[in-house]
């Protein structure tokens, strides 16, 4: 009997500090995969049969709510989307967590990312490898600050 491999759920970007005032927070689970379809996983081998369910919670475990109505935030069932943090009631929470549940044919994988929250702007930093040799690795960085 052949059994299916476990699904792999991934959220790109990892834990990072974000601003409560951020109008655009990108959430990306497109590297989630079914290793039976994509042995190397990831976005290079998209699998349209994967389903995604996102949730948002504040530090006390309760669901994220909209500032305007107090309604619980509902997120699209797509692998990628953006969230307007400034539209959420996050003032009393030191962090926010996003969870994605990936499903396919009765199999389930889940992962989450917890993001510390700061008031005001948070600098974005980017680092990439510029060159590599036997003697050294050179990195290049930038920031929006």
Confidence band (pLDDT; 50, 70, 90) for 32?
very high
Tell me: the pLDDT tens digits for 56-95?
Answer: 999 999 999 999 999 999 999 999 999 999 999 998 899 9
Contacts of 8 (CB under 8 A, 6+ apart): 32, 33, 34, 35, 41, 102, 109
Residue 103 in this model has a pLDDT that exceeds 60: yes
In this prediction, what percent of the chain has a pLDDT beyond 90?
60
Q: Which of 100 and 39 is assigned the larger pLDDT?
A: 100
Rounded to whole angstroms, the Cα distance separating 1 from 85 reads 47
What pTM does this model have? 0.83
The predicted pLDDT at position 122 comes to 76
Please report the pLDDT score of residue 145 as a whole number.
60
pLDDT value at residue 34: 92
pLDDT of residue 26: 93
Q: Which residues pair with 118 in a beta bridge?
A: 19
What is the CA angle 126-130-131, rounded to 5? 150
């Amino acid at each position: 009997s052949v059994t299916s491999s476990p699904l792999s759920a991934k959220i790109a970007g990892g834990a990072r500090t974000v601003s409560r005032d951020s109008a655009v927070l990108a959430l990306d689970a497109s590297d989630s995969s079914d290793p039976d379809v994509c042995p190397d996983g990831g976005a290079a081998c998209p699998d349209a049969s994967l389903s995604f369910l996102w949730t948002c919670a504040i530090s006390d475990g309760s669901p994220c709510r909209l500032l305007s109505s107090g309604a619980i935030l509902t997120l699209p069932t797509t692998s990628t989307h953006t969230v307007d943090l400034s539209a959420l009631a996050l003032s009393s929470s030191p962090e926010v967590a996003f969870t994605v549940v990936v499903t396919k044919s009765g199999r389930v994988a889940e992962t989450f990312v917890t993001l510390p929250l700061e008031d005001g702007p948070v600098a974005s930093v980017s680092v990439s490898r510029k060159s590599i040799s036997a003697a050294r690795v050179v990195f290049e960085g930038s920031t929006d600050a």
